[in-house]
Amino acid sequence: MIAQDVTPNAVLLLCPVCGFDCVHPQRVEVFPVLGHVACVVTHQGVSIEPSDAAEAQRGISIELEFSCESGHVWTHELRFHKGATLIETTIVRDEATVKAQIDPETGTLPGDLTTIWRD
């Protein structure tokens, strides 16, 4: 399960690896239909980056990257194709990867998982 009902109009996003409800948005990428760029939003701000995604898709693609407080990382990609919108989930860092990457001395993971809205 990746979501849990909270109210009639809202669901709580859960980690697809462990089901934890402490989930943080890390990155948003929008790949337009035309051109060779993507709009990227991170904790550092908004940027336009080179991309060849338009060559491999027929409609717009929006990729949302999340992490949970257990260290798992995944993306939800929304793709528009022939009148339908598809949502695909891809696990970027699963339980085995988390265990393999933990620093035995500090107990921390490499890299800084930074929430977009953090002060």
Q: How many domains does the chain have?
A: 1
Evaluate whether residue 13 is within a structural domain.
no
E strands present in 43-83: 45-50, 61-68, 73-81
Highest mean pLDDT among 7-11, 88-92, 107-111: 88-92
Evaluate whether residue 6 is within a structural domain.
no
Is 70:48 a contact under the CB 8 Å cutoff? no
Count of residues for the chain? 119
Evaluate whether residue 85 is within a structural domain.
yes
Evaluate whether residue 30 is within a structural domain.
yes
Q: For residues 74 and 67, give the distance between their C-alpha atoms in angstroms, rounded to a whole number.
A: 6
Evaluate whether residue 68 is within a structural domain.
yes
Evaluate whether residue 81 is within a structural domain.
yes
Evaluate whether residue 2 is within a structural domain.
no
**Range of the structural domain that residue 29 is part of:** 22-119
Evaluate whether residue 100 is within a structural domain.
yes
At 14, is the pLDDT very low, low, confident or very high (cuts 50, 70, 90)? very high
Q: For residues 46 and 118, give the distance between their C-alpha atoms in angstroms, rounded to a whole number.
A: 15
Average pLDDT over residues 73-96: 87
Q: Is 64 exposed, middle or buried (0-12, 13-18, 19+ CB in 10 A)?
A: middle
At 111, is the pLDDT very low, low, confident or very high (cuts 50, 70, 90)? low
Helix (H, G, I), strand (E, B) or coil at 2: coil
Provide the token pair at 55: 């060559």
